[in-house]
């Protein structure tokens, strides 16, 4: 029984070793397969490159060399024109930015001046406040005097109106004087 157990353990150990080796071989095979696929892609891209080069060479061989040189020179002139235009645009952009910076600095200065002027106007100094308070007090006193005068004037006017009304009433009650007799009560 002891032999059967040791043999069984030996078989299990060998099976584990074989499974580990199989996993290692499997990962090696995956690695080799991915490398082979990468090589295949490189070969395909080299074939495409060669085909494109052959097509370009055929197109170039069909054209005279002078025509190729002429087209390259035209492209070079066009590239130089674009580079010159690029420089001009860059300079115009820098000039525009400088002008905008100048405008913004002037704007900030004007806003700062406006803020200081407004704050000075909004907060008069204590001397101006004292003058303003004195003027308000004088105006208030003058308004009170005017109200009193108007009130007295109204009272006086009412008194005179009452007196006129009383005199008119009394005048109506008096006998008419015809101017011939010397006395009022003959």
pLDDT in tens, 80-125: 999 999 999 999 989 989 888 888 888 888 888 888 887 776 665 6
- The average confidence (pLDDT) of the chain is 82
Do residues 150 and 159 make contact, with C-beta atoms less than 8 angstroms apart?
A: no
Distance CA 32, CA 28 (A): 6
Q: Provide the whole-model pTM.
A: 0.33
Radius of gyration of the chain from its Cα atoms, rounded to whole angstroms: 60
Distance CA 35, CA 66 (A): 46
Do residues 110 and 118 make contact, with C-beta atoms less than 8 angstroms apart?
A: no
**DSSP character for 177?**
P
Q: What percent of the chain is predicted at pLDDT more than 90? A: 22
Mean pLDDT of 19-25: 90
Q: Which of 62-66, 70-74, 90-94, 181-185 has the lowest mean pLDDT?
A: 181-185
- Under the banding of pLDDT at 50, 70 and 90, the label for residue 69 is confident
Do residues 68 and 60 make contact, with C-beta atoms less than 8 angstroms apart?
A: yes
71: closest CA among 81, 58, 60, 82? 60
């Amino acid at each position: 029984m002891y032999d059967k157990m040791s043999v069984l353990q030996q078989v299990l150990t060998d099976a584990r070793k074989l499974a580990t080796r199989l996993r290692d071989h499997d990962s090696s095979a995956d690695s080799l397969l991915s490398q082979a696929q990468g090589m295949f892609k490189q070969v395909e891209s080299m074939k495409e490159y060669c085909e494109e080069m052959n097509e370009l060479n055929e197109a170039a061989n069909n054209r005279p060399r002078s025509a190729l040189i002429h087209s390259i020179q035209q492209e070079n002139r066009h590239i130089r024109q674009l580079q010159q235009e690029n420089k001009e645009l860059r300079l115009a952009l820098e000039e525009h930015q400088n002008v905008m910076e100048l405008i913004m600095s002037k704007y900030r200065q004007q806003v700062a001046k406006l803020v200081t002027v407004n704050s000075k106007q909004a907060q008069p100094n204590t001397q101006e406040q004292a003058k303003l308070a004195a003027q308000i007090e004088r105006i208030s006193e003058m308004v009170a005097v005017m109200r009193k005068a108007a009130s007295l004037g109204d009272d006086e006017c009412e008194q005179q109106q009452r007196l006129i009304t009383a005199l008119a009433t009394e005048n109506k009650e008096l006998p008419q004087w015809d101017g011939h007799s010397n006395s009022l009560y003959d």
